[in-house]
Amino acid sequence: MITLDAFIVLASLTILIALLIWNKIERHWIGLAIAVVLVVTGVVSPSEAIKYVNWDVLGLILGVGIFTVYLERSGLATLAARYILKHSKGSPYTTVFLLSLLAGLVSIFMENVSVVLLFYPVVFTISRSIEIDPRTPMILMALSANIAGSATMIGDPPALITAGAFNLSFTDFIFYKGKPSMFFFTLVSMIVAIALSAYLSVKRNARIMSSRGVDHAVLGYDSQGSLDEIFVWEAAFFLSIKIILLSLRNILSIPLSFSAFIAVSGITIARLIHRDRGSVKEAFRHGFEWRLLIFLASLFILSGAFEKHGIAKILAEYLVKEFSYNIFGLTSVIMWLCVALSSVIDNVPITLTMIPIVKTMSSITSHDPVILMWAALIGITLGGNFTYIGASANVTAVRMLEKNGYKIGFLDFMKVSIIYNATSVLLAWLLYSLIYIVA
């Protein structure tokens, strides 16, 4: 039975999606209004709203946003773009493919939002150089950063939560009981999805591609002159520190935002020592993304309300009752339910909701709970890419596009994501079913 509070949460989610599709009101004001309604109506208390917001992620976004401006000014993004374009030999398809693949591989070891903020200057540099619209490469880069998160147990919160709940080791995500697991499902699906989406995007944008290539736009220094080598080395050094801290955050027991704080503090001090106050002022002026922070905080509150009132659990338990003794039907329902939910709700509460449900299914059916959880994790990880509100990294990518003057609506995002996600989800479902269900 759905309560009045649960109905308000569902109505709020529906209104949010409708207004985002309408695309006439800025999304941060929509999110803020919905969060206020949830608190005023008593669906969530003020203390619960504060608790639901993942302040660590917001701190990471704030810090990395500031640090990214330093990266842009240092010219490190330009060097990275030159490297990618050199190896792609100026081919728009190969360039977009390599950029997306590299973002996905880095995301295996880094938090997804950090990957998007790290790569977005590279996307714009490359797009300007070969004269393509940066919206599609940016979206594909964000989708790849998201999809690779559960390839290992250290890449994304759902993977970490799953590993803890089922006492899994690092190698279980690569091979489980002698069979390929999340690492292979994720990476094979990602590579195929990138290849197809990059081909279609380049074909769609072929008419606006530059015929002059990239020779003097990328491989040589442009009119801005030589890069400040000291600044480049400082940016690379503190970027490396941030990546190392993010990769070792679980071993060191440090919050996500700590790595960004160290990187920003270090490079700010270094710039002040060099009396480069202009870079410091610009980094703090343009790196503070308050609109993005407000919208993400609102999504966290909505996700928390969704979990509190057990909406996902009600739906999941009903479906389990209908399919509990058909292993193919059961795993398919688990996966596609998680795909649907993670398209509009943050993946952490969905993971926390599914774990006890999966354990209950296992006790009823005697199926291995980990094998059932792989189906849920595939849906949670891959499904969050259908819309940009399903993952913080996608929201961040959309905001970076808008910040640079490229408007992108809810449906505009889906025009790119639907091909990518349909390919990745269907392929992962096929691989999973062949390895764990049919075999």
Neighbours of 390 (CB within 10 A): 26
Residue written as token pair 């999966």:
358
What phi, psi does 347 have (nearest 5°)?
A: -75, -20
Phi and psi based region of residue 366 (left: phi greater than 0; alpha: psi -120 to 50; beta: remaining)? left
**Cα 255 from Cα 60, distance rounded (Å):** 9
pLDDT at 194: 94
DSSP line for 395-434 = HHHHHHHHHTT----HHHHHHHHHHHHHHHHHHHHHHHII
* Under 8 Å between Cβ of 294 and 36: no
**Cα 231 from Cα 234, distance rounded (Å):** 5
Token pair in block for residue 139: 């979206």
What's the first-to-final CA gap in the chain, in angstroms?
A: 39
pLDDT at 4: 92
Using alpha carbons, select from 122, 188, 193, 109 the residue that is nearest to residue 156: 109
**Cα 250 from Cα 236, distance rounded (Å):** 23
**Cα 435 from Cα 181, distance rounded (Å):** 9
Residue written as token pair 């969704």:
306
* Under 8 Å between Cβ of 113 and 151: no
Give Rg (Cα) of the chain.
Answer: 22
**Cα 260 from Cα 266, distance rounded (Å):** 10
pLDDT at 215: 38
Name the stretches of the chain with pLDDT < 70.
Answer: 1, 109, 154-155, 205-226, 247, 250, 312, 315-316, 319-320, 324-325, 439
* Percent of the chain that is helix, strand, coil (3-state, to 5): 80, 0, 20
pLDDT by residue (tens digit) across 405-437? 888 888 889 988 999 999 999 999 999 999 998
Using alpha carbons, select from 436, 432, 389 the residue that is nearest to residue 414: 389
pLDDT by residue (tens digit) across 6-29? 999 989 988 988 888 887 898 899
Helix (H, G, I), strand (E, B) or coil at 176: strand
Buried-exposed string 173-203: b where 16+ CB fall within 10 A, e elsewhere = beebeeeebbbbbbbebbbbbbebbbeebbe
Strand partners, 175: 180
Token pair in block for residue 419: 């091909």
